[in-house]
Structure 1
């Protein structure tokens, strides 16, 4: 039985801890905050409950597998998991609105054809077919296997872009934005693709075409809501860890990884206490310093942030009078009229004038005081905490909140004034409170969108969570836990999750 110290109590950290504890190891989790869950948080006030991080699950199989492998109770016995249908409603800049069913390619094609016309649904369906090829080609090395030094497969874009002959030259889309412009041939379809990719913290102007597997993943495997909010999933994972005798130490900041005899030998806490360990798993964006360089030439290193830093989320929580209409969509996306300008602002450290805004209206009695009130969450991708926007400026926060409220009014089919008359109170959260949004790992030229491997050059030190392979996102964080646990339990012979 090995002693294992896990740094951080986010979803990837807890997924790692639960699997290692079941394998017979003694696991202790050190979290500098006062609670677990990382980005999967909630805000409660006067009977209203809001998610402050992700609001939907898109690959529930990852979490089903965790609960299956760590105990007798399956996921659905620990949380209420509800398939969201319709999956989403989309309002475009020209006023066109389309509602997309959940996990039905034929239904999506039909809905787009009816709303947009001109063969839009057929083009989107053909695009999903190519995106499926990208998923099939890269799914296992991107999600289910450790990142190997021999990773040539992930340094090529897996998306089979159409070859188009123009002006005596044959061209292929190499970025998400180019896929939208050249293959989808409708600014609304392009906005649908760009908005999805931007929501994952990626710049559609530069993200490889292979990022198209992200909307494919959502539209194929569906969107799921956890009753009571995603925080309930975090609670269930935490309780599974506790049931497997994982020790949690909150308010414990790890300042360094201890090295002894050429390997990780524990962690040092703020205040000087040293906790011995046979293995250390770091699940935070900034790996605590150790006694040696953790990466060598040719390794994928932590990403150097662009001028705008890693993006984050600007979130507005609305407590409203009035019942939620039964016909309301759970999620409505109000698309920016210019996603290129939006991305330029986000990744350039500025605020977009017309951002893409997601409006979440879960039909969940646990989230509101009674049936005569409604809890609505608005969110937009923005420059992150180090991105150049002064998130401490109260006037700026309130002005931008008004921008999102105006977009929400369009989504709800109300005038901005009518929506404000329903408002009891609102809460504004910025990246200063919620942090940055690490993107999922992607295959592409030069491996520029990969994350550091789960192993490091210091034996005994491993990486999990959104800043390590396979990157950000709820499902990806859960997979990082499976990969690290496999590497510790099975060693270098571990070939990936089954």
Structure 2
């Protein structure tokens, strides 16, 4: 192949990863970002000496991030520290029982669930059987869907059967678990992202397998460091970055992409990578009219001081609304930076709702930043949670890594079966694989 002029639309993790990979493959890459900084949901938020991750605070599948850095330049270990967590998260249930879900250990998870059972059933064995059943699911997805571009016409039978299954997650969980608490633990990653379990394919339960097998990981100081390191990587690879530049549409000629239209004029391109919600681009919007974005939750970033409860990095308080407390921000000495997330029927202030769970920090607030779902969508130009699950057809209705428009590729949260850095990072690798080296 010859060197291509490639325009990547979107400076979130998907766009950064795509641009870095394509530049390393020898292409001339320009990245467009509508805001004045790179990173998308990986950007930090700061106020009065406190700093919070705007989006995720942990990640699964660290190999995805390591592979990205290794394939685009210096290895990850020379840029930043990715460290494992002992817990995936702590779950607190309405009956006042607590599960501290271990990270990356089958035996430890079995022991934790057995302790939760308190003699009322073999919960560890039930959980283990559920997770173990997804081992084969992961291998089928990894080989035929996540690590190589999926062609439905050439898909192996086992993958076709899996993706075409009519079984939804809520039925699978009710069948496998008599104890509601196990259902809540298994369904949490989807409920917090705003999905209805009746519309989530049962095979997405593979997330529990990933948590147990590969564990949860973070970066000291916040995952925003990954976005900053990738921004530096683009400079090293010679990527042209145009901030404050909104892509209005893809320029087509004879049905093929030949550029990108912006408010500042058109940019010529041999290929275009859409790493934003494709609904924002008229040339692609018609191809995704059956899909909807998963709407972000209510978020409150609070800077605290004083004598505070000793919480792990993430605590889930089950109920309606569901509340999630993340404690991993950075703060001045004697302080703490927490993020509280609310999902469900939140009819009162999120800190008041938190106080009802006996975690009352209202008198310790030094500073506070609130973000509604609309605020988050406006800030990021779309939802970093990707496509809302609406049944098994969602797999075919979303785009990525290719699209119906020749010369246009899709990466990012809207081009994956799930949110989070692993799925998004894999989508960027698929785009680079489709386009190939110069």
Equivalent of residue 278 in structure 1, options 260, 270, 273? 270
**2:357 is equivalent to residue 373 of structure 1:** no
**2:260 is equivalent to residue 311 of structure 1:** no
Shift of 1:20: 0.8
Shift of 1:401: 2.0
Cα deviation, 1:196-223, whole Å, max 9, x if unaligned, reads 2223443212212112101221222111
Q: Look up the match of 1:167.
A: none
Equivalent of residue 143 in structure 2, options 140, 144, 164? 140
**2:37 is equivalent to residue 90 of structure 1:** no
Residues 419-434 of structure 1 mapped to structure 2, 5 A cutoff: 419-434=361-376
Q: What is the rounded CA distance, in whole Å, between the counterparts of 1:158 and 1:469 in structure 2?
A: 13
Residues 426-445 of structure 1 mapped to structure 2, 5 A cutoff: 426-435=368-377, 436-439=383-386, 445=392
Residues 350-429 of structure 1 mapped to structure 2, 5 A cutoff: 354-362=320-328, 367-370=330-333, 372-381=334-343, 399-406=348-355, 409-410=357-358, 414=359, 416=360, 419-429=361-371
TM-score by length of 1: 0.79
Q: Look up the match of 1:330.
A: 313
> Are the aligned partners of 1:91 and 1:332 in contact in 2 as well (CA < 8 Å)?
yes
> Are the aligned partners of 1:174 and 1:209 in contact in 2 as well (CA < 8 Å)?
yes
Equivalent of residue 174 in structure 1, options 149, 152, 167? 167
Cα deviation, 1:433-479, whole Å, max 9, x if unaligned, reads 22234357999744557631322232211111111245532111111
Shift of 1:128: 0.6
Give the 3 Å change call, closer, same or farther, for CA 202–253 of structure 1 in structure 2. same
> Are the aligned partners of 1:148 and 1:453 in contact in 2 as well (CA < 8 Å)?
no
Q: Look up the match of 1:484.
A: 431
Q: Look up the match of 1:349.
A: none
> Are the aligned partners of 1:197 and 1:211 in contact in 2 as well (CA < 8 Å)?
no
> Are the aligned partners of 1:137 and 1:158 in contact in 2 as well (CA < 8 Å)?
no
Cα deviation, 1:320-347, whole Å, max 9, x if unaligned, reads 113667x6311111112xxxxxxxxxxx
Q: What is the rounded CA distance, in whole Å, between the counterparts of 2:289 and 2:344 in structure 1?
A: 21
> Are the aligned partners of 1:133 and 1:158 in contact in 2 as well (CA < 8 Å)?
no
> Are the aligned partners of 2:195 and 2:388 in contact in 1 as well (CA < 8 Å)?
no
> Are the aligned partners of 2:322 and 2:344 in contact in 1 as well (CA < 8 Å)?
no
Q: Look up the match of 1:44.
A: 46
The DSSP-based 3-state class of the residue aligned with 1:79 is: coil
The DSSP-based 3-state class of the residue aligned with 1:156 is: helix
Equivalent of residue 20 in structure 2, options 18, 21, 26? 18
The DSSP-based 3-state class of the residue aligned with 2:68 is: helix
Give the 3 Å change call, closer, same or farther, for CA 119–439 of structure 1 in structure 2. farther
Residues 182-201 of structure 1 mapped to structure 2, 5 A cutoff: 182-201=175-194
Q: Look up the match of 1:30.
A: 32
Instruction: Give the number of aligned pairs.
Output: 426
Shift of 1:100: 2.0
Cα deviation, 1:107-145, whole Å, max 9, x if unaligned, reads 011011012231111100111111222222222233112
Give the 3 Å change call, closer, same or farther, for CA 447–312 of structure 1 in structure 2. closer
Q: 5+ unaligned residues in a row in structure 2: which ranges?
A: 378-382
Shift of 1:480: 1.3
Residues 149-298 of structure 1 mapped to structure 2, 5 A cutoff: 149-150=152-153, 151=155, 154-157=159-162, 174-271=167-264, 273-285=265-277, 286-290=279-283, 295=287
> Are the aligned partners of 2:302 and 2:369 in contact in 1 as well (CA < 8 Å)?
yes
TM-score by length of 2: 0.89
Which portions of structure 1, spanning 4 or more consecutive aligned residues, are displaced by more than 6 angstroms? 440-444
Shift of 1:50: 0.6
> Are the aligned partners of 1:368 and 1:375 in contact in 2 as well (CA < 8 Å)?
yes
Give the 3 Å change call, closer, same or farther, for CA 194–401 of structure 1 in structure 2. same
> Are the aligned partners of 1:18 and 1:70 in contact in 2 as well (CA < 8 Å)?
yes
Give the 3 Å change call, closer, same or farther, for CA 431–82 of structure 1 in structure 2. same
